[in-house]
Structure 1
Amino acid sequence: MNRSHTLPLTAASAAAAAALLLSGCGGDGDDEGGGKDRIAGAETGSGAPSDSARADRSDAPKIDRPKMTLPRDVSLVFDQATTTGPDQTAAVNDARNFVRSIRYGIVEQNADDSAYKFYSELQSPAQSYARDQIKQRVDKGLSISGEMRFTRTKVSEAENKKSAVVSFCSDSSKLFSKEVKTEKVHHTEPSISDYYSWQVLMKPSKNTNGLWRAHKVQVKEKAGECR
């Protein structure tokens, strides 16, 4: 079976992509809103932050966030990120929530799930990307099973201080396609196709203090630097 479509980013343009994302940081409106069929793009259970992230956010505003409870056979694991200041911490945490919401939409088999809409700007490229990734799985009758790891997390602040690019690697060598009707898991051998490099442009919500939302996404497939 074919892999799910991702937004391609060639190795030569990887460095330029961050600059491109950061260059589009003007103010926008904000509203609520045969292998694995992988989506380029993590912590298990309800999607609660790790102990380190929880400590970083001890003084963060209370936000009524959507609950994302993943099944026991799906584990999304993030490394510890080094950030400077509450804005960077919030941008990283909500970038992770954005990619987590895509996984949640897949296991819920709902391309219109409210979680990814909460963590992406209304009608933004990131929101369209999330919906497309979920819908491709739903249309094929596929969910996921296994573990996906996210590492090498970095955050770059835009010059205007109003947005940030969160970058990280993902490893889905232990994440597999699972047929919804039969619950059959399609195990495959690890390969370079399991590795992706992500860059997510995050912007603070104008309506909810402390919430950051995804605006754009760039994904490089077969990212050897993430292996």
Structure 2
Amino acid sequence: MNRRTMPIVAALAATTALLLTACSSSSDSSDKIKGADQNTSSSSKSPKASPTSSAKVSDFGLPDDVKVEIESVTTGDKTKDQILKEQAEGLMARQRIYVDLDPNSRYLTRYYDGEARAFYASEVKRAKAEGRTITGLYRYYDRKVEENTDDRAIVTYCEDRSKAFAKDIKSGKARKTKPSPEDFIKNTATLRKTEHGTWLVQSFRGETSAQECQ
């Protein structure tokens, strides 16, 4: 399949069977969320190479059958490191949204905003109506802050969903699919800094079958 760059809804809806992940936020809540700012490690390995360390983020109370591996990145720049830390937490949190199937979750309002929040709120409602949740392994690597100002940032990262699946809630069975190039996605996320100094994902797009992520 040819590589395609798609807007947020088209890109993620095209991989609905594997998506089943979530998060977003339009409020600048400073409330503590279970899992945020804790120091538990998750190992990470891209298809190309093994990272030297893993991002120190919490498991966000995910069930045992949902694994998230995020490659650690340290730039030496305080602002960029904060952006990457909170972006990593957002990736963890969006999995929790699809476990809870709650479109009003505090995990959405803490980490996401704008188009991203609206998209995930809609997707989580649909997942609940269809009786599906998530299972398997989600991997994120090659995370980079491409641009940043005082209150805006663009982060790119690779995503591997080759071992991530939708799961039927009633039966508990995974809806497994065969691995394919479409499982490797190059994402571009736009984040904004709130008045509380936290970073929220406003929008993102994904390019499926991304060669640089395989």
Whether TM exceeds 0.5 here: the answer is yes
Q: 1:161 to 1:196 in 2, by over 3 A?
A: same
Q: Does 1:126 align with 2:79?
A: no
The aligned counterpart of 1:72 is 64
Alignment match of 2:140 (pick from 142, 150, 163):
150
**Cα deviation, residue 139, structure 1:** 2.2
Q: Please name the residue that 1:165 is paired with.
A: 154
Matched, 1:113 2:105: yes
In the alignment, the residues of structure 1 paired with residue 174 and residue 40 of structure 2 have an alpha-carbon distance, to the nearest angstrom, of: 28
- Report whether the alignment pairs 1:196 with 2:188: no
Contact 1:151/1:170 (CA < 8 Å) preserved in 2? yes
Distance in 2 separating the partners of 1:71 and 1:40: 14
Tell me the secondary structure at the aligned position of residue 125 of structure 2. Answer: helix
Secondary structure in structure 1 of the residue aligned to 2:83: helix
Is 1:187 the counterpart of 2:176 in the alignment? yes
The residue number in structure 1 matching 2:202 is 215
Contact 1:37 1:137 (8 Å CA) reproduced: no
> Does 1:97 pair with 2:89?
yes
Query: Are the equivalent residues in 2 in contact too, given 1:39–1:133 (CA < 8 A)?
Result: no
Q: CA deviation at 1:98?
A: 2.1
Q: Taking structure 1 as reference, are residues 132 and 84 closer, same or farther at Cα in structure 2, changes over 3 Å only?
A: farther
- Write out the 4+ residue segments of structure 1 that deviate beyond 3 Å after TM superposition: 5-9, 45-54
Q: What is the CA distance between 1:223 and its match in structure 2?
A: 2.1
Q: 2:72, 2:156 → 1: CA distance?
A: 13
Give me the whole-angstrom Cα distance separating, in 1, the residues matched to 2:20 and 2:85. Answer: 18
* Alpha-carbon separation, structure 1, partners of 2:211 and 2:129: 30
Shift in Å, 1:218 = 1.4
TM-score, L = length of structure 2: 0.73
Please state if 1:38 is matched with 2:18: yes
Supply the distance in 2 between the matched residues of 1:40 and 1:195 (Cα, whole angstroms): 15
Query: Tell me, which stretches of 5 or more residues in structure 2 are unaligned?
Result: 1-6, 23-33, 42-53
The question of whether the paired residues in 2 share the 8 Å contact of 1:111 and 1:135 is answered with: yes
Structure 2 vs 1, CA of residues 224 and 36 (structure 1 numbering), >3 Å: closer, same or farther?
A: same
Instruction: For 1:131, give the aligned amino acid.
Output: A
* Contact 2:21–2:96 (8 Å) recurs in 1: no
CA RMSD, Structure 1 to Structure 2 (Å): 2.9
**Could you say which structure has the higher strand fraction?**
2
For residue 129 of structure 2, what is the aligned residue in structure 1? 139
Residue 7 of structure 1 corresponds to 9
Matched residue, 1:32: none
CA distance in 1, matches of 2:99, 2:20: 15
The structure-2 alpha-carbon separation of the partners of 1:199 and 1:173, relative to structure 1 and needing over 3 Å to count, comes to: same
On the 8 A contact 1:111/1:138 being kept in 2, the answer is no
Q: Structure 1's 179 and 41: CA in aligned 2 closer, same or farther, altered over 3 A?
A: closer
